[in-house]
Amino acid sequence: MPTGAITGYIDVAQLTLYAFWIFFAGLIFYLRREDKREGYPLENERSGLVTVQGFPFMPKPKVFLMSDGHKIYAPRIEAPVPVTGAVPGAWLGAPMDLIGNPMVAGVGPASYVERADVPDMMFDEPWPKLVPLRVATEYWLAEEDPDPRGMAVVGADGIVAGTCTDAWIDRSEMIVRYLEVAIAVGVPKSVLVPMTLVRISSDRNLVVVQSVMGDQFAEAPVLANPDQITLREEDRVSAYFASGQMYATPDRVGPLL
């Protein structure tokens, strides 16, 4: 047999198959560890001394250097967020019983993450991404699109909640993210409604939000700064209006059949 002719007495195809199996097993192990950088360890209802992480174990923290200079660690130690709008069910693993307005309970479809209480910044400029048109004066709504400013805003029940006063744009994506609504009843204030939950009726000169009722706009989260929204506020605003798809009325909570 000539020197170097290993294929005559070694099954190269079988060795290649074994190598692929080992590589694939290692890849699965790596990916299963990496997907535990968020949301782990899980909370244990029986005891706070039990670490619920499964197999494989959680990876060592990785440091991410952000564009503004601060660092984010993943996984990170997070303190449990107290839930004030619900109480535990009758047994371990039972659904929580909601108290009061479920749209502000912070559970189920109304859940939100305690993200940083700072605005999302643009990558190439030290400016917040999401701002109203009154701040971003260099932007405007396209003439061929309906301008919701000045239109009445109604809920799924047809009750007028207020008037649209401005549109909030994403400077990096060049799209409208929120509509600002001045509440017509109760304490005067302005709230933001996610644009994805809005339907603009030019014929009726109305902005319709089917996910909530007209009187539920009054309990929507308000911004600390009227001209900017933080990451935490974004989550709370989206959670409130999106959860109305299930929590706005009692008949939405139950099954269809």
Q: How do residues 71-110 score in pLDDT, each as one tens digit?
A: 888 887 767 667 777 777 777 777 777 778 888 888 888 8
CA distance 46 to 67: 41
CATH number of the CATH domain containing 249: 3.90.50.10
**For residues 46-69, average pLDDT:** 81
Residue found by looking up tokens 């047994």 in the block: 91
Q: How far is CA 110 from the centre of its chain?
A: 10
Q: Does residue 6 sit within a domain? A: no
pTM (global) more than 0.75: yes
Amino acid code (one letter) for 218: A
Indicate whether 97 belongs to any domain. Answer: no
Measured torsion, CA atoms of residues 26, 29, 34, 37, in degrees rounded to the nearest 10: -150
Task: Respond yes or no on whether the N-terminal peptide bond of residue 126 is cis (omega within 30° of 0).
Answer: no
Residue 73 lies in a domain: no
Instruction: Give 119's Cβ-side CA count (13 Å radius).
Output: 18
For residue 165, being part of any structural domain is answered with yes
134 within some domain: yes
Q: What is the rounded CA–CA span in Å between residue 139 and residue 99?
A: 43
Domains held by the chain: number: 1
The three-point CA angle 124-127-131 to 5° equals: 130
35 within domain boundaries: no
> Cβ contacts of residue 160 below 8 Å, gap of 6+?
152, 153, 154, 184, 214
Chain segment 165-210, per-residue pLDDT in tens = 999 999 988 899 999 999 987 778 999 999 999 999 988 999 999 9
Task: Determine the Cα–Cα distance for residues 162 and 244; give it in Å rounded to an integer.
Answer: 18
53: tokens are 């992480």
Give dist(CA 24, CA 30) in Å, integer. Answer: 10
Please give the average per-residue pLDDT across 141-153, as a whole number: 92
Is pLDDT of 1 > 90? Answer: no
Domain of residue 230 covers: 117-253
Q: For residue 81, how far is the Cα from the chain centroid?
A: 16
Look at residue 45 and tell me if it is in a domain: no
The per-residue pLDDT for 185 is 75
In a domain, 192, yes or no: yes
